[in-house]
Chains A and B, each alone.
Chain A
Amino acid sequence: NAGVTQTPKFQVLKTGQSMTLQCAQDMNHNSMYWYRQDPGMGLRLIYYSASEGTTDKGEVPNGYNVSRLNKREFSLRLESAAPSQTSVYFCASTGGGGQPQHFGDGTRLSIL
């Protein structure tokens, strides 16, 4: 049971390039989330998807788009990467109804 799988694990981009971060869960969870983690800032919610076919903005959505491809997969896209988007990105999922969120091991993204 892999849980939440994120790809890639590391990526370096140049300013202005585009990139899609992939996330898949095998726990049959309804809800999925994207967070970013910056030094001294904790984790901040970018976007979430309560169920297949729905997405909503979180605390820091500017510069990002998401797609809930199916129940298993939730992708995060940077259309024109900026140095301020250098961060570690975490995907999480939950079965909902107050159940805990389970996290992947992150994608470390550097934008030069």
Chain B
Amino acid sequence: GENVEQHPSTLSVQEGDSAVIKCTYSDSASNYFPWYKQELGKGPQLIIDIRSNVGEKKDQRIAVTLNKTAKHFSLHITETQPEDSAVYFCAARAYSGGGADGLTFGKGTHLIIQP
């Protein structure tokens, strides 16, 4: 089955600086890679996702890059703000057109934005 590794487990950055979280996956059939943000006491919320036919995707201050050859993908947050403090999870799965098996998640990164 799929295995997703996520690093670092904790990341502390100064407000206004950039943050980068990295994930690797094992199953070359995986073709969908979402990123979730989880705030205390809440469920994970999708912030951005990328499919294997795309190398990079941006949404305002957030971007995700994908290297299929190396089987890794990264989340980039620029101009970090206090409200970016949360736990971030990467995930992967292989969509084959049928079935609906779930996502395989990384173990999470606790992002701390220092004022």
The residues of A with any CB-CB pair to B shorter than 8 Å are 4, 30-31, 33, 35, 40-45, 48-51, 56, 58-59, 90, 92, 94, 96-98, 100-106
Chain A residues, Cβ within 8 Å of B34 = 100-101
Chain A residues, Cβ within 8 Å of B99 = 50
Main secondary structure of the interface of B (DSSP, over half): loop
Let me know if A100 and B102 touch, CB within 8 A. no
Let me know if A42 and B102 touch, CB within 8 A. no
Given contacts A100-B49, A101-B46, contact A45 B107 (CB under 8 A): no
Q: What is the minimal beta-carbon distance from A12 to any residue of chain B, in angstroms?
A: 17
Q: List 26 A-B contacts (CB under 8 A).
A: A4-B43, A30-B100, A40-B107, A40-B108, A41-B107, A42-B105, A42-B106, A45-B101, A45-B102, A48-B100, A48-B101, A51-B100, A58-B102, A59-B1, A59-B104, A90-B43, A90-B44, A94-B100, A97-B95, A98-B51, A100-B46, A100-B49, A101-B46, A101-B103, A103-B36, A103-B44
Let me know if B43 and A103 touch, CB within 8 A. yes
CA distance A59 to B91 in the complex (A): 14
Most buried by A among B9, B89, B95, B105: B105
Within 8 A of A (CB), among B19-78: 32, 34, 36, 41-46, 49, 51
